[in-house]
Amino acid sequence: MVSLSYPIGQAQLPEGALPPAERTALIQQLADLPAQLTAVARAVGGVGLERPYRPGGWNGRQVIHHLADSHLNSYCRFRLALTEENPTICPYDEQAWAELPDVAATPITVSLTLLEALHTRWVSLLHHLSDEQWQRTFYHPGTKRAFTLDQALALYAWHGQHHLAHLKALQQ
């Protein structure tokens, strides 16, 4: 049975360095995500995006704005890891952010446009990293662990597909 919370399963993080082909495929997932989100949002429609993807879950509008918030934070975490030695990142309360008034007041097209520009910039950065840079880390105090940039790439490629599946569930 497919979980409504985790329709594509839980994230699987690599233990060591990603093989180049796998890294390239994950970067491509990030590159493709904004267009995929836009297509699914159009298919679901405005009224459909007001529905939660599961009982007690966020509605489609919240999911799209969450992706913009989350991926903007991730982009900044990559840049911090590339310019500082194992920086401690600042976690945030995702649920509280999803309930801020701008989420209901801002058209989803704003976050979709933000994601398009952000992912273009992020993907450009990722294509220019050396093998050594992929092993740089940041420390997440919420999980009490360090993540390599390879692991963060795998996590955020999964994150995009995870929430894309939530939005696709609204089409049914």
Tokens of 66: 């969450």
pLDDT in tens, 137-153: 999 999 999 999 999 99
Q: How confident is the model at residue 4 (pLDDT cuts 50, 70, 90)?
A: confident
Distances (CA, A) of 111 to 27, 49, 72, 96, 146: 20, 14, 11, 17, 29
CA angle in degrees (0–180, nearest 5) for 86-87-90: 140
What's 87-118 look like in SS3? CECCCCCHHHHHCCHHHHHCCHHHHHHHHHHH
Q: Domain residue spans in the chain?
A: 20-169
Class of domain 20-169: mainly alpha
What local confidence, expressed as pLDDT, does residue 2 receive? 64
pLDDT in tens, 87-140: 999 999 999 999 999 999 999 999 999 999 999 999 999 999 999 999 999 999
CA quadruple 14, 18, 23, 25: dihedral, nearest 10: -70
Q: List phi, psi (to 5°) of 107.
A: -60, 145
The helix (run of H) or strand (run of E) holding residue 77 is: helix 60-83
Tokens of 130: 């050396």
Q: List phi, psi (to 5°) of 50.
A: -85, -10
